[in-house]
Amino acid sequence: MESYRGRFAELYDLFYSDKAYEAEVEFVCWCLGRFSTRSVTSILDVACGTGEHAKYFAHRGLQVTGIDHSQSMVKIARKKCPPAQFHVGDMRTFDLAGEQFDAGSCLFDSIGYVRTNEGVRAAFSRISQYLRSEGILVFEFWHAPAMLRFYEPLRVRWVDAEASRILRISNTTLDVARHLAEVRYTLIELGNDGNYQRLDETQTNRFFMLGEMEELISESGLELLQFFSGFSKDAQIDERTWHVVGVARRT
């Protein structure tokens, strides 16, 4: 799970500046209102990244605690969202000394970074330990049918930073048997002063069939309540659904 270090973390928000974080948080809060048996005042944001979701949770009046494996990302999150508490930790083993939360989130397909069935069960079980009885978890994952049929082996993108222009090249290879996508990123940052640097990082994420995710949830002390097609209340899940949002309850 070594990823999003140093400059990769610093550039993260630039590459995802068009992501609808606020709308996603609104949807998560709608799910909490629909499925929770109690008033939700606190949330554990697992794989919080640079704190964009946490920022909008805090704007809605929630007490937020974030966990991420990347020290570089957590450093950014702390500056971005001072009201929240952020900790560096592995989603499978983090320790918050017995704290309890009304709800949890694990968004942007982050549950797939632990890759194996054992890792997914460990992560869900760890999160469940920190939820109050009948606490709600909202999580997001890559949907296998869309990945297998429509993934792009090569993607190239330019973005402009304050003092540079950045080329990002993404090379994706699928391990179909294990439902893993390995993405090799190359960043070439061209400075306005004529200097440049190259950075390389490989990230591996898992994609899931609905049935296997439902089974993993049930084996982790959670009860699956519903799957959604992305952050939509009404859209149907089909082979073109890239992201599935699940809602589960601690049993």
Mean pLDDT of 122-131: 98
Give the count of alpha carbons within 13 A of 230, CB side only.
15
Shared-domain flag, residues 22 and 133:
yes
Range of the domain at 150: 146-206
Question: What backbone phi and psi angles, to 5 degrees, belong to 173?
Answer: -125, 135
Q: Please check whether residues 13 and 106 belong to one and the same domain.
A: yes
Domain identity same for 52 and 156: no
Number of domains, the chain = 2
What is the identity of the amino acid at 190?
L
d(CA 222, CA 103): 13
Residue 2 lies in a domain: no
Mention every residue, 6+ apart, whose C-beta is less than 8 A from residue 129.
Answer: none
Residue 135: inside a domain: yes
- Kindly tell me if the per-residue pLDDT of 1 is higher than 80: no
Of 94, 153, 96, 80, give the one whose Cα is nearest residue 124: 94
Average pLDDT, the chain: 97
| CATH number, domain with residue 151 | 2.20.25
| pLDDT at res. 244 | 98
Identify whether residues 12 and 69 lie together within a single domain.
Answer: yes
* pLDDT beyond 90 at 169: yes
- What is the Cα–Cα distance from 11 to 120, expressed in whole angstroms? 28
pLDDT average, residue stretch 135-161 = 97
Q: Is residue 28 part of a domain?
A: yes
Residues 38 and 104 in one domain: yes
Q: Are residues 201 and 223 in the same domain?
A: no
Identify whether residues 51 and 41 lie together within a single domain: yes
* pLDDT given at position 127: 98
